[in-house]
Amino acid sequence: MDETPSEIRAIAAQRQAAHEQRQASSEPRKDQNVIYIGKKPVMGYVLAVVTQFNNGQTDVFIKARGKTISRAVDVVEIVRNRFLPGVKVADIVTKTEEMDSEDGTKTKVSAIEIKLSK
């Protein structure tokens, strides 16, 4: 977390401009307001959420499974406390998903979906 809030906002504005250029020439994406949390640094996901809200989304969904659930919660708290204090947690859904492992067996994994609303 080396970036300051103003630097993050500047990066978000640059990404928003690039996104608008790409979107003008492409089809609309189905999951445009969904952020899937993986192994990237937390601030990358924070920037993605801020960008979605800056692009006019009123709701953004953050989804994570397994070990990345704590990273999803970190993203939500950073967005709410440092960048967009007006954003509220509208809903949290927890569930268990079944996944196929490499050896062909079924494995159960915890999952979370957090809905943020302006």
What is the C-alpha separation between 110 and 50, in angstroms, rounded?
A: 26
pLDDT in tens, 68-96: 999 999 999 999 999 999 999 999 999 99
Place of tokens 């999803």: 72
Residue 29 has pLDDT above 60, yes or no: no
What is the C-alpha separation between 36 and 85, in angstroms, rounded?
A: 22
- Domain encompassing residue 22: 5-117
Q: How far apart are the first and last CA of the chain?
A: 24
Domain count of the chain? Answer: 1
For the segment 44-52, the average pLDDT, to the nearest whole number, is 96
Residue 98 has pLDDT above 80, yes or no: yes
Phi and psi angles of residue 28, each rounded to the nearest 5 degrees, phi first: -65, 140
Task: Find, among 43, 36, 39, 96, the residue nearest to 64 by Cα.
Answer: 36
Place of tokens 């990345």: 68
pLDDT in tens, 1-27: 567 778 888 887 777 777 666 655 544
CATH number at residue 109: 3.30.110.20
pTM as predicted: 0.74
